[in-house]
Every structure is written in structure tokens, then in C-alpha cells.
Amino acid sequence: MSPKTIEESSVTLSQVMQPQDANPAGLVHGGVIMKQIDNAAGVVAVRHTKKICVTASIDRLDFHNPVQIGNLVTFQASINNVGETSMEIGVRVETEDLLTGKKTHTGSAYLTFVALGDDFRPVPVPRLNLKTADQKRRNREAIRRRKARLAEKKSEKICQDNAKHCTD
């Protein structure tokens, strides 16, 4: 399996927010944004692997600014790191007020996807061919997040298996 560049799988999706996307205050529901984040990341995962991919976790999702009805919301997604069968995909969310042209960083998220074979079991994913200093930096940061995520999972499992090993 040949390594792939980040550019081969990156995607930008945009959508105008409609009244059905909003709460009574006229702000778009966070869940609507979350769904589009998951969609954008899923496209990246499938493009990279050419396999069915599923969301394994959302490591972080930070909302920085609200989204209004009528705003154009753009989701820029790309792979940060790959493991054996999984990938971390970062998604940047930007909102544009179409009447003023003002763009705002609305949110960011890190998602882990797993590639599945025909039997719906995890399968290996192509390695990354990192080209730029920014891609290498994002890869290093993703490796740190993965180590922290796995350590937290291990700690939770120990706690679940034996409560006396839990710390407050």
C-alpha cells in the first residue's frame, strides 16, 4: 500500500444554515455543526482508504463563536495522523456572513476514524507522505493526542475493572 499525501484526501464542504438548523434564539444547533464535522471527516477517511470508515471517537470539539441562520459554514477537513487501522482527522469550521463577507473561526474538532474491510473488521490504512513543516507539526501534535487518549482509556479500564485503582 503506497503512502498518500494529505492533499489527496482533504475536503472542503460548505452549507448555508437554514431556519430548521436553528434553535428558537436563531442560533444554529451545535448538533447540526457536529453532524457536518462528522460528514466532512468521513469523506476524508474514505478518500484516504477507499474503504468504509466509521467514527471511533471525537477527541475534541471546541465551539468558538455562534452560527446564525443564513451564514455560510465551511468545513475544512484533512488527516493529521494514521495508525494501523485508524486515522485522526482535523476539521476547521469557519462561518461567513454572506451580507458583509466577514469570516469567523467558528470551531475545531479532532475525530478518529477506523477503516473497515468487507467483513466490517478493521483493516490497515495507507501511511502518510508528509511534505510541509505544517503537516509534520500537525502529525506530531496528533501523535501526542493519541498517546494521551490511549493512556486515558487504559486508566478508565483499570478503574472500571477494579474501583480501588480509581483516583479522585
Query: In this predicted structure, what is the pLDDT of residue 151?
Result: 86
What kind and span of H or E run contains 72? strand 72-82
pLDDT band of residue 60 (cuts 50, 70, 90) is confident
Query: In this predicted structure, what is the pLDDT of residue 168?
Result: 58
- In a domain? residue 97: yes
- In a domain? residue 119: yes
How many domains does the chain divide into?
1
- In a domain? residue 160: no
pLDDT digits (tens, 9 = 90+) for 4-40: 999 999 999 999 999 999 998 889 999 999 999 999 9
Query: In this predicted structure, what is the pLDDT of residue 66?
Result: 94
- In a domain? residue 103: yes
Query: In this predicted structure, what is the pLDDT of residue 155?
Result: 83
- In a domain? residue 136: no
Mean pLDDT of the chain: 94
Query: In terms of residue numbers, what domain contains 43?
Result: 4-130
Instruction: Lay out the sheet containing 11-16: strands in order across.
Output: 11-16, 72-82, 86-96, 103-116, 52-63
Give me the numbers of helices (H) and strands (E) for the chain, helices first please. Answer: 2, 7
Query: In this predicted structure, what is the pLDDT of residue 88?
Result: 97
pLDDT digits (tens, 9 = 90+) for 136-154: 999 999 999 999 988 888 8
Name which of 125, 127, 111, 92 is nearest 42 in CA terms.
111
Q: CATH number of the domain that 83 lies in?
A: 3.10.129.10
The three three-digit cell numbers of residue 7, written as one number: 492533499
- In a domain? residue 70: yes
- In a domain? residue 158: no
- In a domain? residue 165: no
**Alpha carbon distance 153, 45 (integer Å):** 23
